[in-house]
């Protein structure tokens, strides 16, 4: 791989790595934010004697309906996911053959890493600390391949001077699409009510956000 291509490739990998880390941070924030949002919602509803029906009760024909409740796929091959307020978001899965091609490239990188990191390949003269470090990196490489976090394989490969196979234009576009898709996921997470709630500074902001949520999800104006 030429220096120019390697630098462009590294830039793609760095972007993908940053976005994955950003997504993980936001998801950690949301773990706590979901609890805080739910508790605040429960207290808000109790103070105003509001009762929200669960999904099974809604399906029985009540007037309390979620926003955009029906999956718009209509049995087609288009794929949608449902967010926490009932909005359906279309996903754009990659072609299986394209995924297989990209995955095979990174499988080769993983195999090359295993030659350096697998416990059976380690020198008996290594210290226990070195063996433990190699074992952690081996597990990280395996996890990266299984979860398709390919950027981690690139980083590990560079640490061990493993040559990165040259990728075709289609495969490079696949990485760019991954970048676009994870950006969309981050935007969806950041637009969730729980995340917005975590950024509220005052009780007035929190109350206004809760009112918007109740109106959108339960069709109850306050």
CA 6 to chain centre: 26
Nearest alpha carbon to residue 197 among 30, 18, 17: 30
Instruction: Find all residues with CB under 8 Å of 65, minimum gap 6, and list them.
Output: 58, 219
Q: What is the pLDDT of residue 85?
A: 45
Instruction: Find all residues with CB under 8 Å of 100, minimum gap 6, and list them.
Output: none
Number of CB atoms found within 10 A of residue 49's CB: 6
Residue 221 near residue 89 (C-beta atoms within 8 A) = no
Number of CB atoms found within 10 A of residue 192's CB: 19
Q: Which residue is listed with tokens 């339960």? A: 218
Q: What is the pLDDT of residue 170?
A: 67
Rounded Cα–Cα distance for residues 167 and 102 (Å): 8
Rounded Cα–Cα distance for residues 214 and 48 (Å): 12
Which two structure tokens, joined as six digits, stand for 218? Answer: 């339960």
Instruction: Find all residues with CB under 8 Å of 39, minimum gap 6, and list them.
Output: none
Dump strand ranges (E) for the chain: 79-82, 88-91
Nearest alpha carbon to residue 115 among 146, 95, 137, 85: 137
Q: What is the pLDDT of residue 37?
A: 95
Across 79-98, b (16+ Cβ under 10 Å) vs e yields eeeeebebbeeeeeeeeeee
Q: What is the pLDDT of residue 168?
A: 67
Rounded Cα–Cα distance for residues 100 and 93 (Å): 13
* Domain boundaries defined on the chain: 3-218
Which two structure tokens, joined as six digits, stand for 47? Answer: 């103070």
Q: For every one of its 222 residues, what pLDDT tens digit does the chain have, with 9 covering 90 and above? A: 677 777 887 788 788 889 989 999 999 999 999 999 999 999 999 999 998 865 544 433 333 333 333 444 444 444 444 444 444 444 545 455 556 777 888 899 999 999 999 989 888 899 999 999 999 999 999 999 998 888 788 889 888 888 877 766 766 787 888 899 999 999 999 999 999 999 999 999 999 999 999 999 999 999
Q: What is the pLDDT of residue 39?
A: 95
* DSSP class per residue in 74-101: TTSS-EEEE-TTS-EEEE-PPPHHHHHH
Number of CB atoms found within 10 A of residue 222's CB: 12
Q: What is the pLDDT of residue 173?
A: 81
């Amino acid at each position: 791989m030429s220096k120019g291509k390697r630098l462009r490739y590294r830039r793609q990998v760095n972007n993908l790595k940053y976005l994955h880390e950003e997504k993980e941070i936001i998801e950690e924030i949301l773990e706590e934010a979901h609890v805080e949002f739910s508790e605040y919602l429960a207290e808000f509803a109790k103070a105003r004697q509001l009762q929200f029906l669960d999904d099974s009760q809604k399906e029985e024909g009540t007037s309390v309906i979620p926003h955009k409740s029906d999956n718009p796929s209509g049995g087609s091959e288009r794929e949608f996911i449902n967010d926490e307020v009932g909005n359906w978001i279309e996903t754009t899965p990659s072609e299986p053959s394209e995924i297989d091609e990209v995955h095979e490239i990174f499988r080769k990188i993983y195999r090359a890493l295993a030659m350096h990191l697998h416990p059976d390949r380690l020198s008996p003269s290594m210290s226990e600390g070195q063996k433990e470090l190699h074992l952690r990196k081996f597990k990280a490489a395996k996890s990266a391949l299984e979860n398709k976090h390919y950027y981690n394989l690139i980083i590990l490969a560079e640490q061990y001077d493993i040559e990165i196979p040259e990728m075709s234009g289609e495969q490079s576009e696949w990485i760019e699409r991954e970048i676009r898709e994870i950006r969309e996921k981050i935007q969806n997470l950041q637009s969730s009510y729980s995340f917005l709630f975590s950024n509220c500074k005052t009780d007035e902001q929190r109350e206004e956000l809760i009112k918007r949520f109740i109106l959108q999800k339960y069709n109850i104006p306050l």
